[in-house]
Amino acid sequence: MLFGVLADAAEADANLGAEAIDVAHRTHNGVLDAIGVNRIVPNPVKNVTDSAYDTSQSLVLNAGQKTAAFLRTIDGPSEDRQDNEENSTDEEVYDQGHMMSCTAHAVAGAFEFTVKKLNLPKFEPSKLFIWYHAREQLHDPQAVKKNIGTNLRDAIKSLGKAHGVCSEYDWSYEVGQYNEKTDLFLAGAKAAKKPPALAERNAHHHIVTKYHRITGREKTTGKYSKPQLRLQLLKCLDEGHPFVFLMKTYNLLHNVQKDELPTAKDEKNGEHRHSLLAVGYSQSKRMFLVRNSWGSGFGWDGYFYMPYDYLTHCQDFWTVCLVESYPDKA
């Protein structure tokens, strides 16, 4: 136990050190930009400087991770729980295609998992239905006609009594073509259409009755901390509740299972936010088991492992606790 605490402290200190280096790097570039030096410094010189900062950041992180790993071996074996079997469905992993509907897919997965946990009749939620009503909440009158992302809160909130969600059978998923300049779907695209009356009516048989946000804040002090967030997320999974969240992928999602965090150079590629569903964890690997929505060909049958340390690049954690789901009337 003692060495486990020391291991967590070593990792936390390493993360703080890496963040300090990153801040110094950004400040350095900001000052040079402000005084105009960066405009005259040759690119090879800039690249050497960036590389030096990135190398320093990686050295600090690797040292912290290796120290923590050594301390945990002294502390003895830790509980290793992998929830791939316990928190999984018999259905094939969703595939969003080229549409920006990852949030709807993640939330639909959370709903389906909860239905199974409560031993309710088998039910697959309509991703298009969730996506449509989530886009309705955006401050854009044309939003429902566009191939654009949505907020996790809006998507989950839409599953309440106001709308609920119909079955995939009532409003099945269909990838539509769109104008890449305006994001508007082309004429006839199902994704831009309002769900039919039958789907809207049946959706009221399938609603979320309890959900909450996981904040990482202490109940007594209200103070946020990364260790507290991790503990709350693990507790959520221990109670059998997967959670949805937003990840900044930096176009590195295929490599996220490696014990490497994005460098300052990676972050220049842009955040590229993506909604996902965490369904379990491996304490010995210190990784979350995450379900993507890129089909079963991605990762391990549609799943991948995300290091605990990658939480630094994630936000907006929500879990669906209770749902009501009744058979639709004929």
Per-residue pLDDT tens for 74-104? 544 344 444 434 555 556 799 999 999 999 9
Report yes or no on 302 lying in a domain: yes
Report yes or no on 89 lying in a domain: no
Report yes or no on 91 lying in a domain: no
Residue 155 sits in the same domain as residue 215: yes
Sign for the pseudo-dihedral over CA of 117, 123, 129, 133: negative
* Cβ-defined contacts of 301-305 (< 8 Å, 24+): 301/93, 302/92, 302/93, 302/94, 303/84, 303/93, 303/279, 304/253, 304/256, 304/257, 305/257
Residue 298 sits in the same domain as residue 212: yes
Report yes or no on 84 lying in a domain: no
Residue 111 sits in the same domain as residue 45: no
Report yes or no on 86 lying in a domain: no
Higher local confidence (pLDDT), 47 or 181:
181
CA angle 208, 233, 93 (to 5 degrees): 60
Residue 139 sits in the same domain as residue 200: yes
- Cβ-contact 58, 263 below 8 angstroms: yes
Residue 177 sits in the same domain as residue 315: yes
Residue 238 sits in the same domain as residue 279: yes
Length of the chain: 330
Looking at residue 59, what is its pLDDT?
A: 61
Looking at the DSSP bridge assignments, the partners of residue 278 are: 243, 290
* Segments forming the whole domain that contains residue 208: 102-325
Instruction: For residues 201 and 122, give the distance between their C-alpha atoms in angstroms, rounded to a whole number.
Output: 19
Q: Tokens 């002294």 correspond to what residue?
A: 74
- Least confident segment among 4-13, 26-35, 229-238, 246-255: 4-13
The token pair at 97 is: 């295609």
Residue 250 sits in the same domain as residue 304: yes
Of 2-16, 198-212, 240-254, highest mean pLDDT: 198-212
Strand residue runs (E) in the chain: 206-214, 243-248, 273-282, 287-291, 303-307, 314-325
Residue 136 neighbours by CB distance under 10 Å: 16
Last residue of a domain, one of 40, 60, 75: 75
CA distances from residue 262 to 15, 67, 143, 256, 258 in whole angstroms, order as listed: 12, 20, 32, 9, 11
Instruction: For residues 327 and 279, give the distance between their C-alpha atoms in angstroms, rounded to a whole number.
Output: 26
Residue 283 φ/ψ, nearest 5 degrees: -65, -35
What are the tens digits of pLDDT across the range 139-156? 999 999 999 999 999 999
How many domains does the structure of the chain reveal?
2
The b-or-e profile of 271-283 (16+ CB within 10 A means b, else e) is eebbbbbbbbbbe
Question: Per-residue pLDDT averaged across 156-170, rounded?
Answer: 96
The token pair at 173 is: 């998923």
Residue 166 sits in the same domain as residue 287: yes
Looking at residue 72, what is its pLDDT?
A: 46
Three-class SS state of 100 = coil
Looking at residue 38, what is its pLDDT?
A: 56
Torsion of CA 135, 191, 275, 198, to 10 degrees: 80
Last residue of a domain, one of 60, 75, 90: 75
- Cβ-contact 315, 285 below 8 angstroms: no
Residue 106 sits in the same domain as residue 40: no
Please report which confidence band the pLDDT of residue 157 belongs to, taking 50, 70 and 90 as the band edges.
Answer: very high
Amino acid making up residue 167: S
- Cβ-contact 65, 14 below 8 angstroms: yes
Residue 58 sits in the same domain as residue 147: no
Question: Per-residue pLDDT averaged across 269-280, rounded?
Answer: 91
Residue 216 sits in the same domain as residue 270: yes
Report yes or no on 92 lying in a domain: no
Report yes or no on 97 lying in a domain: no
Mean per-residue pLDDT of the chain = 83
Residue 167 sits in the same domain as residue 290: yes
Last residue of a domain, one of 14, 40, 75: 75
Asked whether the predicted pLDDT for residue 290 surpasses 70, the reply is yes
Report yes or no on 199 lying in a domain: yes
Asked whether the predicted pLDDT for residue 52 surpasses 70, the reply is no
